[in-house]
């Protein structure tokens, strides 16, 4: 059964585009026909994350305006034919996206793909609202474990609920197990409880994810904990019952606790 996933966040910069591209790569590598719709009009990130920036001819707004057919706008990485990208327009504005035409595009993509992942603009304003009339099977919120992000995520959930979309599941990104262990960071479970959302996945803070981006390769090609966490989430999206790692909450054996590096205390500068 094919699934359209709306992937949103309250705040920007939480890792949404990175996570969407990694999950899509992981799903495509499992042999599932997967399409990313970059709906962050005006900001366009997915082409760069997938190394496809020189291949764009048409974009989402062109398809909506019927300047080209949907198939003409889809681009595919040469080494991953199961993955396709419908790029965002770089010089258009969110209000140029016709909700009816967008709804039709999602329905058309669903008919030819196993998974359609929509990378939404951050926030709850016009950019997101214009996308909400399409039909989605699942919605997901990406959140980092801090109060500001949780508060903004709450508002995004409220916006989705107002449109009677499926209740989102949650991915918590940039978790630091040693801070959680020291009681200085919320665990993914605490964030999920606060937002009253079911937890779909946990991704640790992993500098390899950033380094992969700078090095122009997918974090899914790196041997790192971030890659394993994202592969686990893709498995869950594909219907497998993979357990969550519960970063920072599992109790460590005594010898690990004894030799764990101490976290430096944060000292305020007196001014």
Ligand X SMILES: Nc1ncnc2c1ncn2[C@@H]1O[C@H](COP(=O)(O)OP(=O)(O)O)[C@@H](O)[C@H]1O
Closer to ligand X at the Cβ: 38 or 62? 38
- Check binding of 94 to ligand X (CB under 6 A): no
Burial of 265 (0-12, 13-18, 19+ CB in 10 A): exposed
Contact between 150 and ligand X by CB under 6 A: the answer reads no
Which of these segments, 40-48, 52-60, 136-144, 247-255, binds Mg ion (CB under 5 A)? Answer: 40-48
Q: Which does 205 bind (CB under 5 to 8 A by kind): ligand X, Mg ion, none?
A: ligand X
If the CB atoms of residues 127 and 248 are measured against Mg ion, the closer one turns out to be 127
Should residue 206 be labelled a site residue for ligand X when binding is judged by CB under 6 A? yes
Q: Which does 2 bind (CB under 5 to 8 A by kind): Mg ion, ligand X, none?
A: none
Interaction between residue 226 and ligand X (CB under 6 A): yes
> Which of 141, 177, 205, 234 touches ligand X by CB under 6 A?
205
Residue 210 touches which of Mg ion, ligand X, none (CB < 5 to 8 A by kind)?
A: ligand X
In Å, how far are 111, 162, 226, 270 from 116, measured between CA atoms? Answer: 10, 22, 22, 51
187 binds, among Mg ion, ligand X, none (CB under 5 to 8 A by kind): none
- For the window 9-28, what string marks contact with Mg ion as x by the rule CB under 5 A? -------xx-----------
String of DSSP letters for 184-235: SS--HHHHHHHHT-EEEEEEE--HHHHHHHHTTS-GGGS-SHHHHHHHHHHH
Residue 238 is classified by DSSP as T
Q: Tell me how far apart the alpha carbons of residues 18 and 213 are, in angstroms, rounded to a whole number.
A: 9
Residue 173 binds ligand X (CB under 6 A): yes
Q: Does 27 bind ligand X (CB under 6 A)?
A: no
Site for ligand X contains 132 (CB under 6 A): no
238 alpha carbon, distance to own chain's centre: 15
215 binds ligand X (CB under 6 A): no
Residue 138: CA count within 13 A, CB half-sphere: 21
Could you say which of 88, 143, 153, 209 contacts ligand X (CB under 6 A)?
209
Minimum Å gap between C-beta 72 and ligand X is: 26
Are 12 and 142 in contact, with CB atoms under 8 Å apart?
Answer: no
CA dihedral 129, 130, 132, 137 (to 10 degrees): -130
Whole-angstrom CA distances from 77 to 29, 46, 202, 234 are 12, 12, 27, 19
Residues in contact with ligand X by CB under 6 A are 9, 12-18, 45, 173-174, 203, 205-206, 209-210, 213, 226
Residues in contact with Mg ion by CB under 5 A are 16-17, 45
């Amino acid at each position: 059964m094919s699934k359209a996933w709306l992937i949103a966040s309250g705040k920007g910069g939480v890792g949404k585009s990175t996570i969407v591209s990694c999950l899509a790569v992981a799903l495509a590598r499992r042999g599932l026909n997967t399409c990313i719709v970059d709906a962050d009009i005006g900001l366009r990130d997915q082409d760069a994350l997938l190394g496809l920036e020189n291949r764009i001819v048409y974009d989402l707004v062109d398809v909506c305006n019927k300047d080209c057919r949907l198939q003409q706008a889809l681009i595919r990485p040469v080494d991953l034919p199961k993955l396709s990208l419908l790029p965002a327009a770089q010089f258009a504005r969110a209000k140029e996206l016709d909700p009816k035409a967008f709804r039709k595009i999602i329905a058309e993509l669903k008919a030819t793909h196993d998974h359609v992942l929509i990378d939404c603009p951050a926030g709850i304003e016009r950019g997101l609202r214009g996308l909400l009339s399409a039909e989605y099977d699942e919605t997901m919120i990406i959140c980092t474990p801090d109060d500001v992000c949780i508060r903004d995520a709450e508002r995004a959930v409220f916006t989705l609920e107002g449109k009677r979309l499926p209740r989102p599941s949650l991915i918590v990104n940039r978790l630091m197990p040693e801070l959680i262990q020291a009681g200085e960071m919320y665990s993914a479970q605490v964030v999920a409880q606060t937002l009253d959302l079911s937890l779909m996945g946990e991704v640790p803070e992993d500098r390899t994810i950033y380094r992969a981006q700078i090095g122009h390769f997918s974090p899914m090609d790196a041997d790192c904990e971030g890659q394993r966490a994202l592969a686990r989430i893709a498995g869950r999206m594909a219907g497998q019952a993979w357990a969550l790692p519960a970063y920072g909450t599992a109790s460590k054996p005594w010898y690990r606790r004894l030799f764990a590096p101490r976290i430096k205390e944060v000292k305020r500068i007196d001014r």
